Amino acid sequence: MPKHLRMRQVTLLKITVGVVLFLIIALGVYVLASPLPPADVPLSSRVFDVNGKLIASLYSQENRVEAALTDMAAHFRDAVVAIEDSRFYEHFGVDPIAIARATYRNLKAGRVVEGGSTITQQLAKNLYLTPERTFERKLRELLLTLKLEARYSKEQILRMYLNAIYFGHGAYGAEVASQTYFGKSVRDLTLAESALLAGVLRVPGRYSPYIDPSAALERREVVLNRMAELGYITPEEAEAANREPLRLVGLKERAGRAPYFVDYVVQQLEERYEADVLRKGGLNIYTTLDLNMQSAAEEAFLQGLPVSFRDARGVTQPQGALVALDPTNGAIRAFIGGRDFSETQLNRALAPRQPGSAFKPFVYLAAIENGYTAVSTLVCEPIALPVTGQPPWTPTDYGNEDYHWRPLTLREALRISDNVVSARLNYELGPAKGIATAHNLGIRSKLAPHLSSVLGTNEITLLEMAAAFAPFANGGKRVEPLAILRVENRFGQVLEEHRPNVQKAADERATYIISSILQDVTKPGGTASVVGRTVERPVAGKTGTSLGNAWFVGYTPDLVAAVYVGNDEPARDIFGTGGGLAAPIFANFMKTALQDKPVREFTRPAGIAEVEICSESGLLATQWCPQESVYNEVFIQGTQPWQPCNIHTPWSNWQIPWPFSLPEPEQPSTETPIETPITESDHLEPAPE
């Protein structure tokens, strides 16, 4: 070859090499210098209970939970690398050997039987690219792959890949996939489960064990053999794992645990976070709910609801709700808003209803704080209470007897839930005092100071009632219902944190006296005696019944719970009382929820006097009082009676012979009007019980 031609070839070669080197350098500079585009990988937000147990996942389209590589079973990581990219730790993001091998096998088979994409290339596609097949997209995939390899370690790339890839049935990422198929965390997968899950990756619609169990098991065998071939496991381990039967958790649509509580939490968070952040931002939401108590509540609730029917909208009736919280700090421990969240999302724990006589303790507390005692007596007889601009209101008692026709102490009146004495007491106090006390204890709803408000004619939510009864259990301190403890972002940074809000609201001596009376409600003769028979520990509470509503709100020193049973259309009668419908649900819930807690008495505060009282006179018992009439009563120190019983005296049993016998007493009048007018209008129809 002539010299000038050789020189020309050398020159062309140098130019070509120079151009290639320039392109390589330019590519390297581009890869290293240009930033990666932002990856839009939505992560499910997760809601946890007070013990760190998962309650529910929040997501809009992709159910994805991020897990650290160290939190994934080693067998699972090895299985994915073995079957998806065996040279993952050796190549630079693109594997020429794998591409050549796949090309040869595809040409030989006449169809695509093997892919040459690496794990890094698949990650680039999942993070940044759309699924179309074009030359431009393949070029972008190559550049993004090189960028990923230049910026991240192999372990980081593998972690991102395993958290981004789709495993079928709406499961994105290894953690959700493991829960979907096996009901366990990815860290707990066995070798056989790891191989099956890794095998699903290639084509979830073909290898999912929910779709084709035989194909899934065959694919698992391929993965196990490949792991043994590469030295990740021994042939004996592969053979043993291949013999394991297929055990799946079952594919079903689940609303998650405590859906009404989760909905309540989401409503609060939506006020502070955008929907995309809440359902795609990978937030970790730690709540006060206790799933063990929630399970006890759900079991008692469903077993205790009466025989059901469907209303005009197709919703099962009667419905109901249950809320339980810690009286010391307001932390919500159990929360039910209806029978079935998938049927109706109306949260009845937050829906205002008339609580009936469950409201009475607020008025009686106001009375104790204003000089009345548990032995103060009022007569249960017809009484016409004047109402400005309306006919007088004459309250009656619930049941077959309208009146008791005798004086009742406040203890007895509250224990048997007497309407007449309660209405007279509310009149003497002034309705505003009972309303103010209810608000002080935690009721936020607007309450009208009617005479009949003592009978629960205002509408209040179940959550409010549970919180407002907490001061009776904790010594007079108001608590704010607390559902969310803290919220963290996907990186563990705390976005918000909440602490209990506890404030003094009532005289602890007065609340102790009310608790003493409300314990009688759960004993024989009270309107909720089933509670005392079932719970078998100090427990107090109050029933409430109005048309279409049955309530029981009760508590121990450790837990307060409110139960409501009723029809969504209140005008339809519930055909039952708070003692017959709501109290048994409360009792069964409390028995299970507190079974591991020691039995505790209500703490008696300083400044309480306990003396023996004669139930007939309300005065100090003497040696002449019948034993069945003597009981111990509690008072705020200084308010206890000092006079001895004036009914049972040394001469009370003397018989005066005729003709010196005393005249017969007059029969009680049928109406004792009180003429003093009031300024507030009143409901004409009282709530029963």
Long-range Cβ contacts of 670-676 (<8 Å, 24+ apart): 670/382, 671/382, 671/383, 671/384, 671/394, 672/379, 672/381, 672/382, 672/383, 672/384, 673/383, 673/384, 673/386, 673/392, 674/383, 674/384, 674/385, 674/386, 674/427, 675/386, 676/386
- Given a cut of 60, whether residue 43 has pLDDT beyond it is yes
Asked, for residue 107, whether it belongs to a domain, the answer is yes
3-class SS at 610?
A: strand
Residue type, 245: P
Asked, for residue 172, whether it belongs to a domain, the answer is yes
pLDDT at 211: 81
Provide the mean pLDDT of the chain. 85
- Highest mean pLDDT of the ranges 40-54, 147-161, 244-258, 345-359: 345-359
Angle CA 463–464–470, to nearest 5: 95
pLDDT tens sequence across 441-461: 999 999 999 999 999 999 999
- Given a cut of 90, whether residue 583 has pLDDT beyond it is yes
- What mean pLDDT is predicted for residues 96-122? 68
Instruction: State the catalytic residues.
Output: 84, 357
Asked, for residue 339, whether it belongs to a domain, the answer is no
- Given a cut of 80, whether residue 520 has pLDDT beyond it is yes
- Given a cut of 60, whether residue 130 has pLDDT beyond it is no
Asked, for residue 642, whether it belongs to a domain, the answer is no
Asked, for residue 218, whether it belongs to a domain, the answer is yes
Q: Which of 322, 288, 308, 630 is nearest to 465 (CA)?
A: 322
pLDDT at 91: 84
Asked, for residue 235, whether it belongs to a domain, the answer is yes
- Given a cut of 50, whether residue 681 has pLDDT beyond it is no
pLDDT tens sequence across 619-658: 999 999 999 999 999 999 999 999 999 888 887 655 444 4
Domain count, the chain: 1
- Given a cut of 50, whether residue 682 has pLDDT beyond it is no
pLDDT classification of 65: cutoffs 50, 70, 90: confident
CATH number of the domain to which 100 belongs? 1.10.3810.10
Q: Tell me if 378 sits within 8 A of 413, measured CB to CB.
A: yes
- Given a cut of 60, whether residue 255 has pLDDT beyond it is no
Q: Tell me if 178 sits within 8 A of 247, measured CB to CB.
A: no
Residues of the domain holding 151: 72-242
pLDDT at 40: 57
User: Which of 391-400, 483-492, 614-623 has the weakest average pLDDT?
Assistant: 391-400
Asked, for residue 509, whether it belongs to a domain, the answer is no
Percent of the chain residues topping a pLDDT of 70? 82
Q: Which residues contact 2 (CB under 8 A, 6 or more apart)?
A: none
pLDDT tens sequence across 272-302: 886 657 777 788 999 999 999 999 999 999 9
